[in-house]
Amino acid sequence: MKGNQYAVIGLGRFGSSLAKELVKLGYEVLGVDINEEAVEEMSQTLTHVVVADSTDEEVLKSLGVRNFDCAVVAIGDDIQSSILTAILLKDLGVKSVVAKALSDLHGKVLEKIGVDRIIFPERDMGIRVAHQLVSPNLLDYIDLSEKYTIAELAVPKRLTGCSLKEIDPRAKYGCSVVAINKKKGVIIAPTAVDTVEERDVMVVIGTREQIDQFEHAVI
């Protein structure tokens, strides 16, 4: 088991998937849900599970939640419970409180309470899927800032054997290939003579427009 301990409150679709993945990654996870069935379903997977109402301060205290490194409020639909739980966790002094928000307003309230990280799973996944639909070779991306992005682009068959000098994204589009992920390993900071093959993945950094142009012209 790795050091950090996580409490996941609300074992719906999001919470249970998050909790399972944390266990897979080797962390201890306490799962809490008011619904007995939801808890029962996760009882074999998580380190500890408890049927409890997280809006009850005494319950949270008795679970020792304050000793956890991070607590995730994965209650969505019941906004009141989500907000009350987040306030209690902050008050109890949990180091890092993460909460899922269903709407911008819900997110704003969580921010005002002092929640350390707010996630909008449905909104963010919608945006991600839209990008991937219009750019089939875009495997994934991370926005570094308002302007800059790192994207993973799948290399199409017709670029097989081409060197970066031939593709020349920096001179033609202003974006740079910072790594090439090949079956046999990753080439970090590739040089002009490095070549790509079909199914390699190019990791490209640049503005969204530059990457978009590169992708549509070359890939």
Question: Interface with ligand ADP by CB under 6 A: which residues?
Answer: 9-15, 32-35, 38, 53-55, 74-78, 81
**Residue whose beta carbon is closest to ligand ADP:** 12
- The encoded tokens of residue 18 equal 């998050």
Rg of the chain taking only CA atoms, in angstroms: 22
Backbone torsion region of residue 161, taken as left when φ is above 0, otherwise alpha when ψ lies between -120 and 50, otherwise beta:
left
Nearer to ligand ADP, 9 or 70 (CB): 9
Of the candidates 154, 153, 143, 164, the residue with the CA atom closest to the CA atom of residue 207: 143
Residue type, 18: L
- Least Å distance, CB 160 to ligand ADP, is 42
Nearer to ligand ADP, 98 or 180 (CB): 98
Q: At 131, which helix (H) or strand (E)?
A: helix 121-134
Nearer to ligand ADP, 17 or 176 (CB): 17
Q: Which residue has the tokens 């999001």?
A: 14
- Least Å distance, CB 80 to ligand ADP, is 9
- Least Å distance, CB 212 to ligand ADP, is 32
- Least Å distance, CB 54 to ligand ADP, is 4
